[in-house]
Amino acid sequence: MNTKRLITLLIAGMTALLPLFGQKPQSYLTKEQMPDAVLYLPAPPDTLSMHFAYDTAQYRWGQRMRPTARGEQARKDAEYSIERMANIFSPALGFTISPNRTPELWKLLRDANYTAHDACSHAKEYYFRPRPYMHFNEPTLVPQDEEVLRHNGSYPSGHTTLGWTTALILVELCPEAENEVLRVGYEYGQSRVIAGYHWQSDVDAGRLVASAAFARLHASPAFIRQLKKAQKEVNKQRKTK
């Protein structure tokens, strides 16, 4: 990788993370300690494969969804932030996630997702897969993001990793809400297909990366300590409800 491209990737990555980690996060594990998706995931589908044909079919399905209410949801889901996670998951839990009402849970989600981001960043840089709107030279649902994300690899999906990691953490803390929480997490990833920013295989891989990151986080004593603090907070919120 040449120096110019590396600098471009770093700037794009930092730009994408700023909304998510506005406050200084704390990583539970180093990047080297996280599972490396380059080593356990297959490469993105070749453009002549049946897998890519499915990717293309899903891209066209996503385009058909854009004028609908589901398309509006996908447009809102383009926001890559803990605030968006709080907004979409709070109804499923029955209480509001916020830095004021649930500070321990907020810190857990912020720091866990900051750590999980490292689980997909190497694969993004390694494969540097062109995004669907680049491949077809067609507009997306969220045109203001197009230029920045041209310089950030498509595989695996970082948005999906964020949504699915959040869902898995919330299911552990609040298993009685598991079905709705998992549905919300799944739909957040699918929104990236609808928006035209990710292939279906990117999204599928993002869920696997999130699952691997979630499992690895449980080997971190700091994560477990914060998980217990968040659990007490969630239990209190559920009782109040």
**Which CATH number characterizes residue 159's domain?**
1.20.144.10
Catalytic-residue membership of 198: yes
Domain assignment of residue 232, yes or no: yes
Q: CA 24, 190, 134 angle in degrees (round to 5)? A: 85
Q: Can you give the length of the chain in residues? A: 241
Name the active-site residue from 110, 131, 198, 207.
Answer: 198
Give residue 103's domain range. 45-240
Q: What is the pLDDT of residue 241?
A: 64
Q: Which amino acid is at 180?
A: E
Q: What is the pLDDT of residue 240?
A: 80
Phi-psi bin for 205: left (phi > 0), alpha (psi -120 to 50), beta? alpha
Domain assignment of residue 32, yes or no: no
Cα 62 → chain centroid: 18
Catalytic-residue membership of 60: no
pLDDT by residue (tens digit) across 96-130? 999 999 999 999 999 999 999 999 999 999 999 99
Round to whole Å and give the CA distance between 218 and 221: 8
How many structural domains comprise the chain?
Answer: 1
Report, as an integer, the average pLDDT of 59-66. 98
Given pLDDT bands bounded at 50, 70 and 90, which one contains residue 2? very low
Report, as an integer, the average pLDDT of 35-53. 97
- Looking at every residue in the chain, the average pLDDT score rounds to 92
- Name which of 20, 22, 31 is nearest 159 in CA terms: 20
Q: What is the pLDDT of residue 239?
A: 86
Q: What percent of the chain has pLDDT over 90?
A: 88
Task: Tally the C-alpha atoms within 13 A of residue 206's C-alpha that lie toward its C-beta.
Answer: 33
Catalytic-residue membership of 135: no
Domain assignment of residue 20, yes or no: no
Name the active-site residue from 110, 117, 129, 159.
Answer: 159
Q: What is the pLDDT of residue 206?
A: 98
Domain assignment of residue 117, yes or no: yes
Report, as an integer, the average pLDDT of 137-166. 98
Element (H, E) at 213: helix 200-217
Cα dihedral 98/229/174/121 (nearest 10): 70
Domain assignment of residue 14, yes or no: no
pLDDT by residue (tens digit) across 192-219? 999 999 999 999 999 999 999 999 999 9
Q: What is the pLDDT of residue 22?
A: 54
Please determine, for residue 89, whether its predicted confidence score (pLDDT) is greater than 80. yes
Catalytic-residue membership of 218: no
- Calculate the alpha carbon distances from 1 to 8, 66, 127, 217 in Å: 11, 36, 11, 30
The per-residue DSSP string of 111-179 comes to: HHHHHHHHHHHHHHHHH-PPPHHHHHT---S-GGGHHHHTTS--SS-HHHHHHHHHHHHHHHH-GGGHH
Given pLDDT bands bounded at 50, 70 and 90, which one contains residue 161? very high
Domain assignment of residue 29, yes or no: no
Domain assignment of residue 219, yes or no: yes
Q: Do 184 and 89 form a contact (C-beta atoms < 8 A)?
A: yes
Domain assignment of residue 184, yes or no: yes
Element (H, E) at 23: none
Cα dihedral 36/39/40/45 (nearest 10): 110
